[in-house]
Amino acid sequence: MLGDKIRELRGKNMTQRDLAKKLGISTSAVGMYEQNRREPDLDTLKKIALLFDVSLDSLTEYPVKTDTSPQYVFQTERTNILPVVGKVCAGNGVLASEDIIGYEPADNKYSSENYFWLKVSGDSMSPKIDDGDYLLIRKQTSVDSGDVGVFIVDGQEGVVKKVIYDENSIELISFNPYYPPIKFTGHDVLRVRVCGKVIESKRKW
Question: Which active-site residues does the annotation give?
Answer: 124, 161
- C-beta neighbour count of 54 within 10 angstroms: 15
**Cα–Cα distances in Å, from 140 out to 111, 149, 150?**
13, 9, 10
- C-beta neighbour count of 134 within 10 angstroms: 20
- Length of the chain as a residue count: 205
DSSP bridge partners of 134 = 119, 202
Query: Among candidates 141, 120, 140, which has minimal Cα distance to 131?
Result: 120
- C-beta neighbour count of 131 within 10 angstroms: 12
